[in-house]
């Protein structure tokens, strides 16, 4: 309520004439009694006129903005004088408050204006009054520039999803050069855009700063923010200039340059499949057994790809050709009898005729011709019989070639089958690498599962998994020695069965229908490899081991921090690039000291 409204209510409550209180001679008397201002008798209580007067007093008190219940005397009577006093106090308080507000509001408005100017300046620098930052800043941009000299993120390259055999060295070098130039162009373009934005914000901040009075604490803090904008502008300008110099002086690497060779090696290492890395680990574990497996695989490859030599000798084929030519010559003679043989027949026939005295006339001549003709026919039949017998002997050139072809085809099929079995389940480098990769993944998965909180539990249960990060498990060398010993047994079986079957086939000159058991032990050679996963869960915390040393237990503490407290992004980066980072800092003690200090801060 306003003071005027309260004053009007007070004036109305002070009226006491009879005409102003409903008329009647006793109206003013009753009002005075129920307002606590005059005497009266209890006879007025409960009467219609008395109740009317009581309500009138109550309404007048309410009209002054007061609660009538606070002024009840009793029996419908009220202390009107006390209510009027409180109403006058209310008028005084309202007037005092209005006077204070009239003087304070301009000051408050001016302070709010100054606060607003200060907040606007702070916002232009990328900061908020409540904390936190928005928008890019100069130092952050310089960090992006410094990353150009850091190692590449091969995963962002178009070649990163390809396999080694699909990528040429020239493609790797070109990708590096294009990526470097593209990054420089991006830095320059973003930097120029940011310079324009910072300059615009700096101009606006200076205009706002002019509205703050000198000596005001908010002007002092705002000048700090404006200085930050100036520093950001200088920083980004310097970074863009550096990027432009790098772009101008950029020299593409080539395949023959040291930088190109390093880039090719690093990129191909990134493209390696897990099985490729596992095969390299197998070589480190036991180089001799690794070479044995490689040699065995090479022998199976040669056995499957090299052609078989003929199963006959030149001398045998020459003899066979001579026999065939003689048989053909005899067939060409037909019933012809040789001169010596004919002379023998003639002498024998003529001797017999002479002995019988039959030497005159045509008879002896006819008999001689008939007998010589019969002898020729007999010789012809004998020649055909001999030729037929040779054809049926299976020693002709055609039969020999068919037998040789069938024999070599059978041996070749056996060799192909043995090689296929070796590839499918034998101790090849590919199969050994796959087994080791599965073993490592299984150990890691088992470790993670064993360290997860049980369902419904409030804390993490004790791990029951083997320490897959151990460098050496005492059981591994023994198990690997036993498994690699089987390689030599497999090699012996291969040599004995392969060449034994071939020698036996050649000696019998029969169809090669036997199937040498080249892989009698091949199928089970490394069936025990899978069982190594539980005890050979080897996982090297590469960087920590390199920084602290294998004998310092702190690397185990850092490994525990990495797998339980580090962020997912950091853990993923560490697992993906840790091994390469450890190799690169092996001979750099200063970098190791910096990394060690950071690791110490994480493990306390």
HEC per residue, 503-553: HHHHHHCCCCCCCCCCCCCHHHCCCCHHHHHHCCCCCCCHHHHHHHCCCCC
CB 194 within 8 A of CB 142: no
Q: What is the pLDDT of residue 56?
A: 86
Shared domain check, 237 and 170: yes
Q: What is the pLDDT of residue 386?
A: 86
Shared domain check, 436 and 309: yes
Q: What is the mean pLDDT of residues 305-317?
A: 82
DSSP run (H or E) holding 78: strand 77-78
Higher pLDDT, 478 or 148: 148
Structure confidence at residue 416 as a pLDDT band (50, 70, 90): confident
Shared domain check, 350 and 323: yes
* Residue 352 forms part of a structural domain: yes
Q: How far apart are CA 542 and CA 216, in angstroms?
A: 56
Most trustworthy range by pLDDT among 110-119, 380-389, 442-451: 380-389
Q: How far apart are CA 369 and CA 349, in angstroms?
A: 10
For 418: left if phi > 0, alpha if psi spans -120 to 50, otherwise beta; the answer is: alpha
Shared domain check, 134 and 90: no
Q: How far apart are CA 529 and CA 278, in angstroms?
A: 13
Higher pLDDT, 313 or 489: 313
* Residue 556 forms part of a structural domain: no
C-alpha dihedral (238, 240, 246, 249), degrees to nearest 10: -90
* Residue 466 forms part of a structural domain: no
* Residue 299 forms part of a structural domain: yes
Write the burial class of residue 298 (CB in 10 Å: 0-12 exposed, 13-18 middle, 19+ buried). Answer: exposed
Residue 354 has pLDDT above 50, yes or no: yes
Q: How far apart are CA 69 and CA 61, in angstroms?
A: 10
Residue 202 has pLDDT above 70, yes or no: yes
Q: What is the pLDDT of residue 523?
A: 28
Q: How far apart are CA 537 and CA 54, in angstroms?
A: 97
What residues does 127 pair with on adjacent strands? 133
List, in order, residues 6 or more apart from 240 with CB less than 8 Å away: 187, 188, 191, 192, 195
Shared domain check, 484 and 338: yes
Q: What is the pLDDT of residue 271?
A: 81
Q: What is the pLDDT of residues 158-196, one digit of tens each?
A: 888 888 888 899 989 899 889 888 888 888 888 888 888
Q: What is the pLDDT of residue 467?
A: 47
Percent of the chain with pLDDT over 90: 7
First-last CA distance in the chain: 67
Residue 454 has pLDDT above 70, yes or no: no
Structure confidence at residue 138 as a pLDDT band (50, 70, 90): low
DSSP run (H or E) holding 573: helix 568-584
Shared domain check, 309 and 228: no
Q: What is the pLDDT of residue 238?
A: 86
Shared domain check, 405 and 327: yes
Shared domain check, 361 and 251: no
Residue 141 has pLDDT above 70, yes or no: no
Higher pLDDT, 380 or 463: 380
Structure confidence at residue 510 as a pLDDT band (50, 70, 90): very low
Structure confidence at residue 288 as a pLDDT band (50, 70, 90): confident
* Residue 597 forms part of a structural domain: no
Q: What is the pLDDT of residue 300?
A: 83
Residue 116 has pLDDT above 70, yes or no: yes
Q: What is the pLDDT of residue 455?
A: 56
Shared domain check, 430 and 353: yes
Most trustworthy range by pLDDT among 95-104, 170-179, 272-281: 170-179
The domain tally of the chain equals 3
Structure confidence at residue 82 as a pLDDT band (50, 70, 90): very high
Q: What is the pLDDT of residue 596?
A: 92
What count of other Cβ atoms lies within 10 Å of the Cβ of residue 188? 19
Q: How far apart are CA 377 and CA 422, in angstroms?
A: 64
Q: What is the pLDDT of residue 547?
A: 92
Q: How far apart are CA 192 and CA 240, in angstroms?
A: 7
Q: How far apart are CA 200 and CA 223, in angstroms?
A: 16
Structure confidence at residue 469 as a pLDDT band (50, 70, 90): very low
Predicted structure pTM score: 0.38
Which of 213, 246, 271 is where one domain is finished?
A: 271
Q: What is the mean pLDDT of residues 462-489?
A: 48
Residue 136 has pLDDT above 60, yes or no: no
Q: What is the pLDDT of residue 363?
A: 65
Residue 43 has pLDDT above 50, yes or no: yes
Residue 380 belongs to domain spanning: 274-442+477-530
* Residue 101 forms part of a structural domain: no
What residues does 78 pair with on adjacent strands? 72
DSSP labels, 116-163? HHHHHHHHHTTB-TTS-B-S--HHHHHHHHHGGGS---GGGSGGGGS-
Residue 460 has pLDDT above 60, yes or no: no
Residue 16 has pLDDT above 70, yes or no: no
Shared domain check, 224 and 145: yes
Residue 313 has pLDDT above 90, yes or no: no
Which of 242, 271, 300 is where one domain is finished?
A: 271
Of the ranges 396-405, 433-442, 483-492, which one carries the lowest mean pLDDT score?
A: 483-492
Q: What is the mean pLDDT of residues 290-301?
A: 85
CB 494 within 8 A of CB 301: no
Shared domain check, 155 and 48: no
Shared domain check, 63 and 176: no
Q: What is the pLDDT of residue 448?
A: 78
* Residue 452 forms part of a structural domain: no
List, in order, residues 6 or more apart from 274 with CB less than 8 Å away: 437
* Residue 387 forms part of a structural domain: yes
Q: What is the pLDDT of residue 359?
A: 66
Q: What is the pLDDT of residue 513?
A: 33
Percent of the chain with pLDDT over 70: 76
Q: What is the pLDDT of residue 426?
A: 73
Q: What is the pLDDT of residue 595?
A: 92
Q: Mean pLDDT in the chain?
A: 75
Residue 368 has pLDDT above 80, yes or no: no
The single residue listed with the structure tokens 């192909």 is: 416
Sign of CA pseudo-dihedral 395, 399, 401, 405: negative
CB 519 within 8 A of CB 421: yes
Residue 492 has pLDDT above 50, yes or no: no
Q: How far apart are CA 345 and CA 35, in angstroms?
A: 188
Q: What is the pLDDT of residue 143?
A: 63
Q: How far apart are CA 412 and CA 302, in angstroms?
A: 12
Residue 12 has pLDDT above 90, yes or no: no
């Amino acid at each position: 309520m306003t003071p005027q409204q309260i004053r009007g209510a007070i004036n109305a409550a002070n009226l006491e004439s009879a005409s102003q209180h409903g008329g009647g001679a006793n109206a003013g008397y009753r009002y005075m009694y129920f307002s606590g201002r005059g005497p009266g008798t209890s006879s007025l209580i409960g009467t219609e006129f008395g109740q009317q007067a009581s309500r009138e007093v109550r309404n007048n008190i309410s009209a002054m903005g007061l609660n009538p219940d606070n002024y009840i005397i009793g029996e419908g009577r009220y202390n009107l004088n006390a209510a009027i006093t409180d109403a006058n106090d209310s008028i005084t308080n309202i007037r005092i408050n209005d006077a204070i507000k009239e003087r304070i509001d301009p000051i408050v408005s001016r302070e709010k204006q100054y606060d607003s100017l200060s907040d606007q300046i702070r916002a232009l620098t990328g900061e908020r009054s409540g904390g936190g930052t928005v928008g890019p800043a100069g130092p952050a941009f310089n960090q992006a520039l410094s990353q150009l000299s850091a190692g590449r993120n091969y995963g962002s390259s178009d070649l990163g999803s390809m396999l080694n055999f699909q990528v040429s060295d020239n493609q790797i070098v070109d990708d590096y050069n294009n990526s470097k130039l593209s990054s420089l162009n991006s830095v320059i373009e973003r930097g120029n855009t940011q310079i324009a934005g910072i300059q615009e914000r700096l101009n606006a901040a200076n205009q706002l700063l002019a509205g703050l009075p000198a000596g005001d604490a908010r002007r002092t803090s705002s000048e700090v923010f404006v200085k930050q904008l100036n520093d950001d502008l200088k920083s980004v300008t310097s970074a863009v200039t550096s990027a432009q110099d790098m772009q101008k002086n950029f020299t593409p690497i080539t395949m023959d340059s040291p930088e190109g060779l390093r880039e090719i090696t690093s990129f191909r290492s990134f493209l390696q499949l897990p099985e490729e890395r596992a095969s390299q680990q197998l070589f480190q574990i036991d180089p001799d057994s690794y070479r044995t497996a490689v040699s065995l695989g090479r022998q199976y490859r040669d056995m499957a790809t090299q052609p078989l030599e003929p199963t006959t000798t030149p001398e045998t084929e020459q003899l066979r050709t001579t026999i065939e030519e003689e048989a053909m010559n005899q067939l060409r003679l037909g019933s012809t009898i040789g001169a010596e043989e004919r002379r023998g027949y003639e002498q024998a026939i003529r001797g017999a005729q002479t002995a019988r005295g039959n030497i005159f006339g045509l008879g002896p001549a006819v008999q001689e011709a008939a007998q010589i003709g019969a002898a020729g026919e007999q010789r012809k039949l004998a020649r055909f019989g001999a030729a037929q017998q040779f054809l049926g002997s299976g020693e002709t050139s055609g039969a020999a070639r068919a037998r040789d072809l069938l024999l070599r085809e059978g041996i070749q099929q056996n060799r192909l089958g043995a090689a296929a079995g070796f590839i499918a389940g034998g101790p090849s480098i590919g199969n050994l690498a796959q087994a080791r990769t599965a073993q490592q993944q299984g150990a890691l998965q088992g470790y993670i599962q064993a360290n997860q909180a049980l369902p419904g539990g409030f804390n993490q249960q004790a791990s029951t998994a083997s320490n897959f990060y151990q460098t050496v498990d005492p059981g591994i060398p023994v198990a690997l020695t036993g498994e690699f010993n089987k390689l030599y047994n497999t090699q012996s079986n291969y040599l004995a069965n392969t060449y034994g079957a071939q020698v036996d086939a050649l000696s019998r000159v029969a169809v090669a229908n036997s199937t040498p058991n080249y892989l009698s032990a091949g199928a089970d050679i490394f069936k025990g490899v899978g069982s190594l996963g539980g005890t050979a869960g080897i996982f090297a915390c590469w960087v920590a081991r390199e920084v602290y040393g294998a004998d310092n237990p702190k690397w185990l503490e850092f490994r525990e921090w990495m797998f339980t407290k580090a962020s997912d992004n950091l853990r993923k980066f560490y697992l993906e690039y840790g091994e390469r980072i450890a190799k690169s800092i092996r001979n750099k003690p200063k970098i190791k000291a910096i990394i060690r200090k950071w690791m110490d801060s994480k493990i306390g």
